[in-house]
């Protein structure tokens, strides 16, 4: 944290002297890539570039961005050759930072931790990065638009369902037998709250707010709303199985799938998640609170 602050300080003081902010920036993490793109900065290279396009999807990665190797092991020799001005990481490569700093200045963000609120931290980190790159005004404008959009979605839900909707739990499937639930301090849960809804996933979880469960354990969610994030293929035939159809929330018509959205993203992933969730809730057979149909 101290190092991050120092670097930000360095960036703040160094930039006016050099006139131009860093332009050859490499994102050594998907959140880093996302934040840069949301600031209107095109990174020179991104780790696991092709997987980013498949899993994160929004914000879209422009053409011509290079692949910098894998997220856990970026290609250091390639990084040397690319001669970056700045490399942004997102807390998963802490042990590599001393080596990375010999290649170029490193801005090491720590977006996910169980010691802070991940959603508000995402906002702060976005602003910090904007300050460092001299784009603070633009960032504030984007954040205002984000809040306005979230308010708009919240209003849309409350006009459509004036009597309220049941608690919402967002899940992702790993296989027919394994699911992940997004609980406290996860981005999907922050999006749930931003929409004025009650979270329905059970509580305590680790730094990323996610917990792994057996798919049969979903029965414990009762008849609250369950939204599964695409892709759904990993669960295969589970969706057609009698066991799935007997799940209380499926029987109550309160299950929907939502389009592929990154669940470990930065501040704007709240908007993408909220949009996907509202679309999902509007598809439900019986979204409203109260008695079963």
Partner 1 sequence: MTTVAPRRFAGWFALVGCTALVWLAPSWHDGATGLLRLLQILATGPGNDIEAVLFWDGTLPRLSVGLMTGAALGLSGALMQQLTGNLLASPMTLGTSSGAWLAMTCGAVWAPALLASHPDWLALGGAAGATLLLGLLTGLRRLASLQLVLAGMALNILLGALASAIALLNDRYAVGIFVWGAGDLAQYDWHWASWLAPRLILPLFVLPLVARPLALLRLGQEAAAGRGLALAPTLAAVLLLSLWLTACAVAAVGLIGFVSVLAPILARRGGARSLLAQWLASALLGALLLVLADGLAVGVGHWLADSVPSGAAAALIGAPALVWLLWRARGLPDAPVEAVVVPSLARAMLLWSAFAALSLLSITVARAPDGWHLVWPDAAIAWLRWPRLLAATAAGAGLAVAGVILQRLLRNPLASPDMLGVSAGATLALIVWSAVSGVAVQQGGWLPALAGSGLALAVLIAIGRRLAWSPVALALVGLSLSALLDGIVQFILARGSLDVIAVLAWLAGSTYRVGSGAALALAIGVAACLAVAFAARRALSLLSLGDNVAVGRGLRVARARAGFLLLSALLSGLVTSLLGPVAFVGILAPHLATRLGARGAGAQLIGAAVVGICLMLLADMLGRTVLWPAQLPVGLCAALLSGGLLASALALKRSVP
Binding positions for partner 1, rule: CB under 8 A: 51, 55, 66-70, 72-73, 75-78, 80-81, 95-96, 99, 102, 174-178, 180, 206-208, 212, 214-216, 219, 233-234, 236-238, 241-244, 246-248, 251
Q: How far is residue 92 CA from its own chain's centroid? A: 15
The CB-of-166 to partner 1 minimum distance in angstroms stands at 17
Under 8 Å between Cβ of 132 and 11: yes
The CB-of-274 to partner 1 minimum distance in angstroms stands at 25
3 or 83: CB nearest partner 1: 83
Report how far apart the first and last C-alpha atoms of the chain are (Å, whole number).
53
Q: For tokens 């406290």, what's the residue?
A: 184
Q: How far apart are CA 189 and CA 199, in angstroms?
A: 6
- How many residues does this entry show for the chain? 293
104 or 165: CB nearest partner 1: 104
Residue 258, SS3? strand
148 or 243: CB nearest partner 1: 243
Residue 73, SS3? coil
The CB-of-101 to partner 1 minimum distance in angstroms stands at 13
The CB-of-61 to partner 1 minimum distance in angstroms stands at 16
The CB-of-241 to partner 1 minimum distance in angstroms stands at 4
50 or 147: CB nearest partner 1: 50
Beta strand pairing call for 178-182 and 210-214: antiparallel
161 or 244: CB nearest partner 1: 244
Residue 239 CB contacts under 8 Å (≥ 6 apart), including other chains: 232
């Amino acid at each position: 944290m101290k190092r991050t602050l120092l670097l930000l300080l360095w960036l703040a003081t160094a930039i006016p002297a050099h006139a131009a902010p860093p332009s050859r920036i490499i994102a050594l993490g998907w959140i880093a890539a996302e934040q840069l793109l949301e600031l209107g900065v095109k990174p020179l290279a991104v780790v696991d570039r092709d997987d980013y396009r498949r899993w994160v999807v929004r914000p879209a990665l422009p053409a011509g961005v290079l692949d910098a190797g894998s997220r856990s092991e970026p290609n250091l020799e390639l990084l040397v050759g690319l001669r970056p001005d700045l490399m942004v990481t997102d807390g998963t490569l802490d042990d590599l930072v001393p080596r990375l700093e010999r290649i170029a200045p490193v801005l090491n963000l720590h977006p996910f931790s169980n010691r802070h609120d991940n959603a508000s931290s995402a906002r702060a980190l976005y602003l910090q990065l904007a300050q460092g790159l001299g784009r603070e005004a633009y960032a504030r404008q984007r954040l205002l638009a984000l809040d306005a959009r979230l308010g708009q979605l919240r209003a849309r839900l409350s006009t459509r369902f004036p009597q309220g909707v049941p608690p919402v739990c967002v899940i992702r499937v790993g296989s027919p037998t394994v699911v992940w639930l997004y609980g406290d301090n996860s981005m999907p849960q922050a999006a749930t709250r931003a929409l004025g809804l009650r979270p329905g996933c059970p509580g305590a979880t680790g730094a990323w707010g996610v917990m792994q469960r057996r798919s049969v354990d979903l029965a414990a969610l009762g008849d609250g709303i369950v939204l599964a994030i695409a892709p759904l293929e990993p669960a295969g035939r589970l969706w057609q199985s009698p066991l799935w159809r007997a799940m209380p929330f499926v029987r109550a018509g309160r299950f929907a799938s939502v389009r592929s959205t990154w669940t470990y993203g930065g501040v704007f992933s709240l908007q993408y998640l909220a949009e996907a969730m509202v679309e999902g809730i509007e598809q439900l057979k019986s979204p409203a609170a109260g008695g079963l149909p």
